[in-house]
Amino acid sequence: MATTAPTTTQLPPTSDVQPSKMTSIKTLAKSPDLKTIPSNYAYSTNPDETTASDQEVSVPIIDFSLLTSGTPEQRSKAIQDLNKACQDWGFFMVVNHGVPEALMKAMINASDEFFNLSKEEKQEFAGKYVLDPIRCGTSFNPSKEKVFFWRDFLKVIVHPEFHFPNKPIGFSELSSEYCKRTRKVARELLKGISESLGVDNNYMEKTLNLDSGLQIFILNLYPPCPQPELAMGLPPHSDHGLLTLLIQNEVPGLQVQHNGKWVTVNPLPNSFLVNTADHLEIFSNGKYKSVVHRAVVNNRLTRMSLAMAHGPSLETTVSPASNLLDSENNPPAYIPMKYKQYLELQQGNQLDRKSCLGRVRVRVQSE
């Protein structure tokens, strides 16, 4: 049975506390008298959007070991599975990926310690410009937002050059290992996805310069919220890169849009949650759509997620893969844009569903 998502038409009164733009949500959520959310956190959801029940859908699963060490038949089946997952969902879970479970757990624990640093310690990593290598903050882009999101974050550029906060002790070394391991998984998946599009498995690697591809580490914290149905952790959006690999603590909250409904993702143990992003849509000339997703909050438990975003190199001008185009039946549907410029547009504005893709999509002239 589908349930109706909350609407803003019957907003109960929200509290008058007006936090400064820089108040972290972790601090705000700890205020002892917080029974209602400040009005500038009240987010309007679309009343027409519903949530699918668990029985209605099953998220695709990709067995990574079949891609890397399966027989040729198993690999080709895994590539077909990738094709279907990218086309039908833009989202899948990856199992048997070889990244040690202990490393994934250690990352979540260290992330918790990071958010437990004092306000002053975290302030050191505030960052201002969207391409600053280390940026810690709240909401998405408070200087542009009228409504804030129930979220604190740390964003770090970890490839082609590895940057990282020097606190808490050991977090940087651990993350360096995690970033290398997840990048390897992402590149293998992208090879498989290249093949699933019908081009060579290293075609994407070469044309998008993945040797110096951008990798961003995005840590999200969503503390308990007294009125979770009125607030939003991260609003519906698509990611800017090619593929994002996400893990979380045990608390659910990620929802992906599928056939017009929101699907809450319940990860298999030790799996990566993978979503396709805008540059895969552009590269595939729209065959694989970047998936719209959001993070909802709850009133009991703190949720944490760690998203690793993988994209082309910043200097690459991306356009649909020429090997996939044909002037008559499949003309380019997106104009070329440098990845760096796209990223600045997406990160420097309000987070919106696919707003940036609209800037590069070729408008079809109506006759």
Closest distance between Fe ion and the C-beta of residue 294, in Å?
8
Residue choice 220, 227, 285, 290 for contact with ligand AKG (CB under 6 A): 220
Nearest to 103 by CA among 16, 32, 170: 170
Q: Are 43 and 235 in contact (CB under 8 A)?
A: yes
Residue choice 95, 218, 324, 345 for contact with ligand AKG (CB under 6 A): 218
Q: Which residue is nearest to Fe ion (CB)?
A: 239
Q: Is the CB of 165 or the CB of 236 nearer to ligand AKG? A: 236
Q: 212 has which bridge partners?
A: none
Nearest to 29 by CA among 140, 135, 148, 130: 148
Closest distance between Fe ion and the C-beta of residue 12, in Å?
29
Q: Is 215 in the site for ligand AKG (CB under 6 A)?
A: no
255: part of which helix (H) or strand (E)? strand 254-258
Residue choice 239, 247, 273, 312 for contact with Fe ion (CB under 5 A): 239
Selection from ligand AKG, Fe ion, none that 254 binds (CB < 5 to 8 A by kind) is: ligand AKG
Q: Is the CB of 107 or the CB of 295 nearer to ligand AKG? A: 295
Query: Interacting stretch for ligand AKG, rule CB under 6 A, among 41-49, 246-254, 256-264, 312-320?
Result: 246-254
**What is the C-alpha to C-alpha distance for residues 86 and 291, in angstroms, rounded to an integer?**
9
Strands, sheet with 272-276, edge to edge from the N-terminal-most edge strand: 61-63, 91-95, 272-276, 243-248, 303-310, 215-222, 152-159, 134-138
Q: Are 191 and 205 in contact (CB under 8 A)?
A: yes
**What is the C-alpha to C-alpha distance for residues 129 and 140, in angstroms, rounded to an integer?**
13
Query: Interacting stretch for Fe ion, rule CB under 5 A, among 180-188, 206-214, 231-239, 319-327?
Result: 231-239
Cβ count within 10 A of residue 344: 16
Binding mask 180-209 for ligand AKG (x = CB under 6 A): ------------------------------
Burial string for 121-131 (b: 16+ CB within 10 Å, else e) reads ebeebebeeee
**What is the C-alpha to C-alpha distance for residues 345 and 255, in angstroms, rounded to an integer?**
24
Count of residues interacting with Fe ion (CB under 5 A): 1
Closest distance between ligand AKG and the C-beta of residue 277, in Å?
9
Q: Is 231 in the site for ligand AKG (CB under 6 A)?
A: no
Residue choice 85, 107, 158, 295 for contact with ligand AKG (CB under 6 A): 295
Which residues bind to ligand AKG, rule: CB under 6 A? 218, 220, 234, 239, 246, 253-254, 293, 295, 305, 307
